[in-house]
Amino acid sequence: MKRMSIVEALREGIAQEMRRDERVFCIGEDIAIPGGWGGAFTVTLGLEKEFAGRMWNTPISEAGSFGVACGAALMGMRPIADVQYSDFLFCAMDQVASNIAKLRYMSGGKLTVPITMRAPVGVTGRGSQHAQNMETFFLPLPGVKIVCPATAYDALGLLRTAVRSDDPVMIFEHKLLYGSKGARAESGAVDASSDIPDEDYTVPLGKALVRREGRDVTIIATLLMMHRSLQAAELLEKEGISVEVIDPRSLVPFDWQTVQTSVAKTHRVVIVEESPKRSGVGAEIAATLAEDMFDLLQAPVRRVAAPNTPAPFSPPMESFYIPSVDGIISAVRETVGECREEIAYQGKDKKHARSGYTKRS
């Protein structure tokens, strides 16, 4: 066992995969500058010393680097493509959406595009163009798998799985969970380090993890919001509210079975995400809950998310913008209180009682 931050785990995982398979290489901007940072957040720091010729620095052209990665993957290589900030994926959107995501389907399975795409997300004092959580934009895109590791253990295991997959996989990594040091240390960072075993383990795609068991409410949250949800759950426990926290880890594919098992127990759901609420990941999860698990619910699904505005630059406004522990606590209280009120109402009026939630006029 060795204790690692997410940055250290990702760096170790990339090195291990490059040693294991000579087809693996890294491509991106400033990922292998001697004396540099090792990408925007030190993930590839020093790897050029061992893997000269397999760490490709590119011009500032995400469309170009992702096009090269796509062509290399089609020819049998296994590229790990890096963008400095996930927002810059917009510059590579045509390559990702039109080629990387679709070529296996369009070729009837004759072609594979095994690309791992790494992208930092989250609001961290850099303004609107360096702050988006891009999961929302790629969730509707068939042909691409999406993972969101919230711990170093999952970051390493999911990276290995992604690199070995014959499908393109996007790994979204939160800047405040990296654990970068020195010049890349982040204000407000959360400790997401883990004990990493020596063996060659992987984390399967589409398998969620119950981070905390509870009986009253289910919270579904990824990345930084998962950690804030755990903080909220701990505080709510003191009020007698037992919260179960699910970390999906993988958005595509999504582990609906784990969610259904939890909802069957708690009958209430709060979804927490850092993206704006409109058309977000939470909206997709809530819609599926309404379609497939309505009879298990005793209260409306609540979403905690950012406002439908660009991320602000002002630190006080930024703190207001990002969903907080207090905001999560408030949503859970409202959900539990509404459910208790409804149960009391049904008890008085047996004629309108039903299994599940009954909306009063």
Give every strand in the sheet of 302-306, ordered side by side: 209-212, 243-247, 217-221, 269-276, 302-306
Residues 143 and 265 in one domain: no
**Strand pairing partners for 146?**
170, 252
pLDDT digits (tens, 9 = 90+) for 33-61: 988 899 999 999 999 999 999 999 999 99
CA dist 196 and 3 (Å) reads: 6
Query: Among 196, 228, 255, which residue terminates a domain?
Result: 196
Residues 104 and 218 in one domain: no
Q: Is 72 inside a domain boundary?
A: yes
CA dist 330 and 12 (Å) reads: 39
pLDDT digits (tens, 9 = 90+) for 86-138: 999 999 999 999 999 999 999 999 999 999 999 999 998 888 889 899 999 99
Sequence length of the chain is: 361
Q: Tokens 């785990």 correspond to what residue?
A: 9
- Identify the segments of the chain with pLDDT beneath 50: 345, 350-361
Q: Which of 130, 174, 227, 267 is catalytic?
A: 130
pTM of the model: 0.92
Instruction: Specify the DSSP element, H or E, that contains 146.
Output: strand 145-147
Q: Is 338 inside a domain boundary?
A: yes
Q: Tokens 């009986």 correspond to what residue?
A: 215
Q: Tokens 């909206």 correspond to what residue?
A: 283
* Structure confidence at residue 188 (pLDDT): 84
Residues 155 and 186 in one domain: yes
Helix count (H) and strand count (E) of the chain? 12, 14
Residues 245 and 183 in one domain: no
Phi-psi region of 88 (alpha: psi -120 to 50; beta: other; left: phi over 0): alpha
Q: How many CB atoms lie within 10 A of CB 292?
A: 13
Backbone torsions φ then ψ of 8, nearest 5 degrees: -65, -40
Count of the separate structural domains present in the chain: 2
Residues 21 and 152 in one domain: yes
CA atoms within 13 A on the CB side of 130: 9
Residues 119 and 246 in one domain: no
Q: Is 359 inside a domain boundary?
A: no
Residue 15: domain span: 2-196
Query: Among 168, 196, 224, which residue terminates a domain?
Result: 196
Domain harbouring 146, CATH code: 3.40.50.970
Residues 184 and 70 in one domain: yes
Q: Is 307 inside a domain boundary?
A: yes
Q: Is 267 a catalytic residue?
A: no
Q: Dmax over Cα atoms in the chain, in whole Å?
A: 75
Residues 66 and 10 in one domain: yes
Residues 135 and 216 in one domain: no
Residues 6 and 120 in one domain: yes
Residues 143 and 290 in one domain: no
Residues 147 and 248 in one domain: no
